Structure 1
Amino acid sequence: MASDLASNQETLVTVFGGSGFLGRNVVRALAKRGFRIRVAVRRPELAGYLQPLGRVGQIHAVQANLRYPASVEAAMRDSHIAINLVGILAASGAQSFDAVQAKGAETVARAAAAAGARMVHVSAIGAHENSLSAYSRSKAAGEQAVLAAVPSATILRPSVVFGPEDQFTNRFAALARISPMLPLIGGGATRMQPVYVGDVATAVAEAVDGKARAGATYELGGPEVLTMREIMEIILAITERNRMLIPLPFGLAKLQALFLQFAPGALKLTPDQVELLRSDNVVSDAAKAASLTLEGLGIAPDSMEAIAPQYLWRFRAAGQFQRNGA
């Protein structure tokens, strides 16, 4: 272990999108393994909170914007490994799905190839070039561009990711705090395999450590396949909220999303997000058969019911002081 840490100290890893929800967990996982970490973000002056995750001088933030190739090339200078975590859940202005998740991924991959660096690219389960969702199509285009530039790149496709700062469980818990009912888009039958952010970060670190297959695509899911209704029920049980779950047909949900795409915070819903919910988001049988999963990397995934209570307690009526049954 000590020898591994010593050798890793000679390896510089550039993490694009390292200040986000998944990014900070990836930076922490890499820091524990002794890597030198360069965090490439649009606003490095706002990423100072990452430095305490490692030793003095181990983590350094630099400016980079995937829409500007020169900044990406500068961020990759002298780097041995590139990690691309950059992604958006909703397009806005110049930050379109294509610009960020397709062309942006290509820009990182080309910079990695020019630097002779290995690459780990985080995509998403459901990425497909013929998807009705612009999000999924751009994710698929990004994967293709990465492998075209760096054929040895490892692609990681997580299902929906949960954790303390997520925009998934926290969003519905926040909605339950202000609304007497929660919508079940498409009846809540869509199946997902929620995966803990810490497990995804560990998978990224394993790939950086060379323990993932070069050129392979891994699908990362948690230990359980749950419907949206079951996920909502778990969140309500943890937050101790009694709320009605109202089925909402896809057509009506998409109509509402035309207006809610401009709403703030937890109320925001885009037509593209409705499209995403038309398809299940689970690890494929092919990935399981090929051991291209968390388990294939030697990671035993944590369940939502085991992790979510550690941070969703703040949505209870009395927070951490809520008594059971109160």
Structure 2
Amino acid sequence: MTHLELFFIINKKAGSGNGEQAADVVLKWLVEHHISYQAKITNYQGHAIELTQQLKQTHLKPWSDSDTTKKFPLLVVIGGDGTLHEVVNALGDETDIPVGYIPSGSGNDFARGVQLTRDPIEALQQILSVKQPQPFTVVHYLEQIKQEEGLFTNNLGIGLDANIVATANASKSKKNLNRYHLGSLSYLLAAMHVMFKQKGFPILVEVNGETKSFNQAYLCTTTNHPYFGGGLAIAPNASPKEACMELIIVERINLFKIIHLAFLLLRQKHLNSKHVHHYKSSQIRIVSTTPQFGQADGEVISPRAFDISFSVRERLFWL
């Protein structure tokens, strides 16, 4: 067991209060077992970025600089996919600074993707038992139109999935369902509301040396593990241990075919549909000229045009 100096960034509002419940049981367990820690609480969107940057300047260091005679300073996130997204982006290119994670959000897709328990005490005990971090693939994106870049641990989508996320985040049902640990159902309800209203849009894709165009794209998601939307396996065979990502494009089809495709998705059979296009690569470019909702790790991007280049990177997680 590696001796650790624990630094927590806690989003108590994650999962409409699930973050606070998880933090309470985790910190109580640490006190009972006489394990010291420091905890910082987020108070607003983007606060985890600031807190991470502060810790990076004062305490955190790369795993390559670890000293077996001293405690290693480990940053642990208690929150949802959005909180983890902020922390990973705050660390940026310093991908050799490991991050631990105790999931407590609504969707928890990253936890599913890396097969991490969603029980807070089990997740904590796993962190404490780990001897060294392990690498997982994250995806770097550069949006050329507004010159914005960042990293995502789950996926970045344009069209339907982003519209679903925006609708779910704005719904009252998400907060109510989270109280009963059913937050992922809010995405399903949002999907039922949005899936018939989302219109097709043109996109251009550059992947594996080929250029492809789609006149009526419906969903366009780049992901590095199977899950999105609170547990739907959009890319069933994707793995965050591989140095590549997967792109799923679904074409706009009529009402009955959409319903049929939704059932196929639930059964993880949708990739067999002629209306679903699947690509696997380490570099991808997507151009969408008509304004669409976007989402990165569940963080909504307001409707706009996109010209995004994706590439894979390896980052250390303490899991």
Q: Which protein has the bigger helix share? A: 1
TM-score range, shorter chain: 0.3 to 0.5
Structure having greater relative contact order (Cα 8 Å, sep ≥ 6): 2
With structure 2 as the length reference, what TM-score do the two structures score? Answer: 0.34
TM-score calculated relative to the size of structure 1: 0.34
